[in-house]
Structure 1
């Protein structure tokens, strides 16, 4: 069983650690309309969200209120997080501890419920939840707006097989252990995409000399587990990286991209080969997608490619990469109208996403808009093991970047392509993730 409970001893240790870091006394704030009173007063609920930021070489994760930059609370998880990620609805931060086989969940305190006749926003103090996933080497995390698939690689040295857990926001909130799990019989550095009752996940040959899979299968949920329904004939050698949009699921291969199209309960596969823009050992190793975006963005080193699954096209994106630049963050932003790229030279590149090519204007799908310099200090002075890190707001046109050189948090307005706020941190930042309500029921601007 993947899900574990915190022991009483662990809870007591957590309480003692947190008491040294300060406590939060924020109360739950709900918003309901008052019948017949259009001008009623109500408490503000943050529409800009919160950030969870981990400290380098530390098990501490701090949650900040973005509206005023205040520190709400700091939590001690079991070990140093190797990554931070957000739950499907952005309420919870996943503190992934890969080398110690553990994922803990921090409630950011901002969430929304559907009350049938209206959406109800809530605001409360952040807290470390009792929901924990424990299995071997949690690595790749992919999420839609309703489901999250977490791929556990397993471990060859201990003969521990891989597994995939698919959870929802409700599973975390209710501390459930009834979520479905796909259990493999051998380890692999795989990838999975959850799509309702289906899971599109990888397969590795037991005789393979690498931990990377080379095939993909469709699995259907049956209660707390999955049944294999279909293994695609198309090979995807050296498979690494996956993403999905409304109709397609993509996987990166050494020789191109494997595309799976879903039409109801029918899944079909096709292969999109690398173009002449690929040379040497270049291959797509990372894919990014969004539900309503027609294109995937694929990365081969510092080269970015627009991948149109329906039209079967791969086009090189001109993001005006600087010589020697390597990417440290990227993603769709501003409700999918833009795509941002953060590099190790201290620049944030902003692309306008048009969704498709405008033939009359010969406008590419991703068009260079601006490049924002985030650091004036010599990037060669970056502390060892650190890098610029990115978090993207799901509620507005802001992105957030940590600068370990100066121990600062930068707020960037990508509509105006400028830094609008700088916050000094009293610790060396490591990872960060945005938490909040993607579409607040009502903006509270007073």
Structure 2
């Protein structure tokens, strides 16, 4: 384990919480769920309600549809070309990015709350696609923290940071922080003190190998001079403090504000890499992929990152799997294997606690393109999109019963659940 101490003057206040399958058996209660598309911006007044229902966003090649997870009936549909869904800086907003069109649109889901200290007030209004778009070359990774969003533009290496309040404007908001760099496939994380942690381009093509801290005044400090192939990030907690993790070749990097340090944890196998991580700011356990070109069998493993103990543990699933695995916010992860099974991972015991067959075996699309199943966790159970059957499945994790809860006229490409 390598630990890099940071100068006292670089202590950053209150760090990082962010935000990132097929033949069904069982019963059916499906319905065609494609409403007429919205053509105008909604200006309705909000309605106060006693509580908020979970909302579900499903993307298609030329639109996105919004649902409530209590009945899975579509609320509205918006015409958007090839949207890649990303959560917004709060549960009210979602980003619809199109990398090829250099565009990021913002969808107001129409649900939010106000905190009055000893109680909350809940509000709804019709959802709307906000009347502006954020532009930049090849927007790819969008990461949230403390009601701020950092959008990374691979084509230029530029980072634009926006607050939740600014994004609710009726015209294009000005970025609260803009940090240029050279083109590369990277990521940035907004900090609560107004700064940003971001990847920096190297001198060669490929993934970055350096992380830098930037203050809101633009001052830069290098965190990691050599962390090869940085890709993937997640936030968790250890001993009451938020910890940020970054994937790379040979290591997982951990930033701790409490200890004012950046720690490198060596992967169990030197030829392995981590490229996607998921977690929750209230959980000490992260889940990540684990892959190797030199030893393909290693790619059947997932990796559990215990932040409190700074330990890494492999769990062999016995099958390749999709990268769209998810974390329940506590101590369980959900992974869809290419064998068609859902693997429920106990992150504390470091074992597969449940295996549920939901699909026929399938092949993953190559590269970043192609349509594949997508996972989401709702109050009723695990949700799985089935592109082949053009449907949405609900998996009851207690009974392991599968139910088709919605059918579509085209293939679903992605889903996101908003609490």
TM class by shorter-chain length? 0.7 to 0.9
Contact 2:301 2:318 in 1 (8 A): no
Q: Which residue of 2 aligns with 1:391?
A: 376
Instruction: Give the Å deviation of 1:101.
Output: 0.8
Contact 1:234 1:270 in 2 (8 A): no
1:273 to 239, 258, 266: 266
Contact 2:95 2:105 in 1 (8 A): yes
Instruction: Give the Å deviation of 1:22.
Output: 6.1
In the TM superposition, 1:32-431 aligns within 5 A as 45-47=51-53, 49-55=54-60, 58-77=61-80, 79-81=81-83, 83-144=84-145, 146-154=147-155, 161-175=156-170, 177-197=173-193, 198-205=195-202, 208-222=203-217, 227-246=218-237, 247-263=242-258, 267-275=260-268, 278=269, 281-301=271-291, 302-318=300-316, 321-323=317-319, 325-333=320-328, 335-354=329-348, 364=349, 366-375=350-359, 377=360, 379=362, 385-393=370-378, 396=379, 398-431=381-414
Contact 1:248 1:260 in 2 (8 A): yes
Instruction: Give the Å deviation of 1:236.
Output: 0.3
Distance in 1 between the 2:322 and 2:309 partners?
27
Distance in 1 between the 2:415 and 2:373 partners?
10
Distance in 1 between the 2:274 and 2:35 partners?
46
Residue aligned with 2:100, SS: helix
Q: Deviations over 1:195-216 (max 9, x none)?
A: 31231111223xx222321111
Distance in 2 between the 1:21 and 1:163 partners?
33
The alignment's TM-score, normalised by the length of structure 1, stands at: 0.74
In our comparison, the structure showing a higher alpha carbon Rg is 1
Contact 1:370 1:417 in 2 (8 A): no
Distance in 2 between the 1:30 and 1:195 partners?
33
1:21 to 37, 41, 47: 37
Q: Number of matched residues?
A: 368
The alignment's TM-score, normalised by the length of structure 2, stands at: 0.79
Contact 2:302 2:315 in 1 (8 A): yes
Structure ranking higher on relative contact order (CA contacts 8 Å, 6+ apart): 2
Q: Deviations over 1:23-71 (max 9, x none)?
A: 899966633xxxxxxxxxxx66542x1222122xx32111122222212
Unmatched tracts of structure 2, length 5 or more? 1-33, 292-299
Instruction: Give the Å deviation of 1:399.
Output: 2.8
Contact 2:377 2:383 in 1 (8 A): yes
| Shift in alpha-carbon separation, 1:215–1:66, aligned structure 2, 3 A | same
Distance in 2 between the 1:286 and 1:22 partners?
35
Distance in 2 between the 1:137 and 1:153 partners?
5
